[in-house]
Amino acid sequence: MCSRSPQVLEMIDKKLGDKKHRSDMPKVEQRLDEICEDKMLTETQKKVCYFMQPIKREVSQLMKNGLPNDRICKRLGQKSKEICSVRNKVKVEKGATDYNALKVKDLKKILADRGVMCDGCVEKSDFVKKCVATESLEREL
């Protein structure tokens, strides 16, 4: 369900160390703040932090209760649906990307990034054909 939140929660776990520090809610909240201020976070992790900040008291309470990170994530998803909607950007390589393996949502995002509209696209195969046809428009990073 929430594939990005556990990454941030695991980072908090590593900073806290032993279980003794997990029982101190202010300490957990402080670690969350420290992690979220880190300049080395990916854009996805920064978004997760942004959505976790308003509910960090609940995050610390769940960690104090000893819930595993995946269960914490599910509970957070009930409070803030945005946490679970954060996704990594799809990596596209010219000539090497299997568009059939991607979801329609990802195909639409790829086309939007290329500035291409897919008028009349109904089936997944339509989006795949359009992505293949416009592959030359992919921006070099």
Domain encompassing residue 129: 99-137
CA–CA gap between residue 102 and residue 63 (Å, rounded): 34
Same domain, 74 and 111: no
What is the model's pLDDT at position 129? Answer: 92
Identify the three-state secondary structure at position 37: coil
What is the model's pLDDT at position 22? Answer: 66
Cut 0.85: pTM above it: no
CA–CA gap between residue 58 and residue 73 (Å, rounded): 11
What is the model's pLDDT at position 116? Answer: 87
- Helices 25-36, 56-64: inter-axial angle, 10-degree rounding: 130
Q: Profile the chain (141 residues) by mean pLDDT over runs of 10 residues.
A: 65 70 78 84 82 86 82 81 70 81 88 86 92 78 38
Same domain, 16 and 58: yes
Same domain, 52 and 115: no
Same domain, 22 and 70: yes
Burial status of residue 139 (CB atoms within 10 A of its CB: 0-12, 13-18, 19 or more): exposed
Same domain, 80 and 103: no
The angle formed by the CA atoms of residues 104, 86 and 88, to the nearest 5 degrees, is 65
What is the model's pLDDT at position 123? Answer: 93
Same domain, 113 and 75: no
Same domain, 14 and 48: yes
DSSP state of 119: T
Same domain, 28 and 70: yes
CA–CA gap between residue 46 and residue 50 (Å, rounded): 6
Overall domain count for the chain: 2
What is the model's pLDDT at position 141? Answer: 38
Backbone angles phi, psi at 98, to 5 degrees: -95, 95
Residue 35 sits in a domain whose CATH number is 1.10.225
What is the model's pLDDT at position 80? Answer: 76
What is the model's pLDDT at position 118? Answer: 87
Same domain, 73 and 21: yes
3-class DSSP string for 9-43: HHHHHHHHCCHHHHCCHHHHHHHHHHHHCCCCCCH
Same domain, 17 and 79: yes
